[in-house]
Every structure is written in C-alpha cells, then in structure tokens.
C-alpha cells in the first residue's frame, strides 16, 4: 500500500496537465485553478486541525515554506498548461542542481564529489533539453520553460525547508504549504490581471467550478498519499518512486498531447533522471 500511495501521487501530478488545460479552455487560468485546488486543501486541514493556520502565522520560518510551496505549484501548473509537457517536467526535475546550492546555503552541507557529479549531469541534461530541434545554442522556448525552471527551484527549496523544519508538526507544515498554494497564486494572479497579462477571475460557471473543486479533493488525496507512503518507505526509495511522474507525464503527453520526443530531449531526460536517481540513492 505505501508504494501504491506514492505511485498514486506521482500519477496525479504527471497527468495534471490534462485537467488543467481543460479548465483553462473553460475560462479558469492555471493561477486561479491552483488557488482553488489549495483552497480546498487548506479548508480540509483547517477542519482537521483548527489551530494549524494560527500556528503558521505565529512562525515566520514557515512563511518561507509557504512561499516556496506556492511558487512551486503555481509555476508548475501554469507551465504544463501552456507549454510542452515533457520539457516543463524535465526542467522542473532539475531539482538536484538547485538542491546542492540550497543545502549548502541553508543547511551548511558542503558539496561532495558525488554532488558535483549530479550537478554536472543535471546541467548537461538541461542543455540538451533546451537545444533547438535544428541544432544550435540551447535556448528557452518561451514562458513555459522559465516556469518549469522556477517551479523546480521552488520544489528544491521546499524540500530543503521541510528538512530544516522537520521538528514542526506535520499539520502545521501541511497548512503552510496549502496556504502558500492558495495565497501566492491568488496575489500573482491579481497583480497580472490588473496589467491584463492574465484573464481576470471568471464568474462561477458549471463549465469549471465542479471540476476545479473535485480536483482540489484529488490533489489533497495525493498529498495525503505522499505523506502516508513517505512515512513508511525509505527516503531514497520514495524519491525514486516520485520520479515516475516523469514517465506518466511523458507517456500521456505523447499519447494525448501529440508531443514528439526527439533524440536531444531523450538524451537530456536520461541525464536529468540519472542525476535525480543518484541524489535519491544518497538521500539528498
């Protein structure tokens, strides 16, 4: 059951681009969709632990966790909604590249030779993924690539902060992450909407509201599944199982998104996966 729970979490996130694009076509921008998803989660955690939100407000250290989690989910959801799913997910999983620097800065962990190898592999993979189809210098292909990169940075920071604040009760850390996923996309959405850079919050509609609320429940269930599985499976194995998200995302994008996996993308993905697997093997 713990392994199935972890696979369920990876599957939810790997396939999330499908309903996100459907919601966007129905008039709900990914930023607003993310706000709804995590609003549902925040309400459920508040019902389960009524004082959790107040305790988060009393601990400024958890505000950084909220910010990192909010940036992670807002960037990832927006990226897979508007860009090439495989590219966005692979850039997102450059986490070993950022985790090394963040762990050095925030946790005092010096870079080992193995960590330097992971950085080199991840960086080489990124250069291949970003290489244009016709060859030439690597380049970012619009907003979606930048969002994938930003989401991965947020994900790395989230994981480092979770380790740093491991003594904080799980309900308070979960509430911080859900509040971040609720508030940060909402604030960014409001700011961008005033500049007409994203659509304003739409009027409630049967075209998107039931699906958005239902998906909020699904994401809450996937978060609970992750916590259940991670508490019962060794950390290095949990990290490896989580990487199946790339498989779910790539397979669904090829089958339902008509995406093509070129040689450079496959080679770059292999290097990024290798870096992530080495990080998982060493537990960091």
Give every CB contact of residue 277 below 8 A, 6+ residues apart in sequence: 240, 243
On the question of pLDDT at 284 being above 50, the answer is: no
Token digits of residue 3: 């392994």
Mean pLDDT on 240-250: 84
* Alpha-carbon span 200 to 85, nearest angstrom: 25
Cβ proximity of 52 and 192 under 8 Å: no
Task: Give pLDDT, residue 190.
Answer: 95
On the question of pLDDT at 283 being above 60, the answer is: no
Domain ranges in the chain are 2-282
Q: Which residue has the higher pLDDT, 244 or 74?
A: 74
Token digits of residue 10: 């990876």
Angle at CA of residue 278, ends 136 and 80, nearest 5°:
55
Cβ proximity of 5 and 225 under 8 Å: yes
Token digits of residue 16: 């999330």
* Alpha-carbon span 223 to 133, nearest angstrom: 37
On the question of pLDDT at 12 being above 90, the answer is: yes
On the question of pLDDT at 187 being above 90, the answer is: yes
Rounded to the nearest 10°, the torsion over CA 62, 68, 70, 74 is 180
Q: How confident is the model at residue 202 (pLDDT cuts 50, 70, 90)?
A: very high
Task: Give pLDDT, residue 100.
Answer: 66
Average pLDDT, the chain: 84
* Alpha-carbon span 252 to 274, nearest angstrom: 21
Give every CB contact of residue 32 below 8 A, 6+ residues apart in sequence: 185, 186, 189, 201, 202
DSSP letter for 110, please: P
Q: Which residue has the higher pLDDT, 137 or 193?
A: 193
Q: Which residue has the higher pLDDT, 66 or 136?
A: 66
* Alpha-carbon span 245 to 89, nearest angstrom: 9
């Amino acid at each position: 059951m713990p392994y199935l729970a972890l696979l369920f979490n990876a599957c939810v996130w790997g396939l999330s681009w499908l309903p996100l694009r459907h919601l966007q076509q129905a008039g709900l921008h990914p930023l607003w969709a993310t706000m709804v998803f995590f609003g549902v989660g925040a309400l459920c955690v508040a019902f389960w632990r009524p004082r959790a939100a107040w305790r988060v407000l009393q601990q400024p250290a958890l505000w950084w966790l909220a910010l990192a989690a909010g940036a992670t989910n807002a960037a990832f959801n927006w990226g897979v909604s508007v860009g090439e799913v495989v590219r966005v997910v692979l850039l997102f999983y450059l986490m070993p590249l950022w985790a090394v620097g963040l762990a050095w800065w925030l946790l005092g962990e010096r870079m080992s030779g193995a960590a330097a190898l992971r950085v080199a592999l991840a960086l080489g993979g990124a250069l291949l993924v970003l290489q244009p189809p016709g060859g030439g210098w690597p380049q970012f292909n619009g907003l979606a690539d930048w969002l994938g990169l930003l989401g991965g940075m947020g994900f790395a920071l989230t994981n480092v902060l979770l380790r740093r604040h491991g003594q904080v009760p799980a309900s308070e850390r979960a509430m911080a992450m859900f509040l971040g996923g609720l508030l940060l996309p909402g604030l960014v959405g409001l700011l961008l909407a005033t500049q007409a850079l994203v659509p304003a919050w739409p009027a409630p509609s049967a075209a998107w509201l039931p699906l958005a609320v239902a998906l909020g429940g699904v994401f809450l269930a996937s978060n609970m599944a992750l916590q259940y599985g991670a508490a019962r499976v060794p950390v290095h194995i949990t990290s490896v199982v989580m990487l199946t998200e790339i498989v779910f995302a790539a397979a669904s994008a090829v089958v339902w998104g008509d995406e093509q996996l070129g040689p450079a993308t496959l080679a770059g993905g292999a290097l990024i996966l290798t870096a992530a697997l080495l990080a998982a093997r060493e537990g960091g």
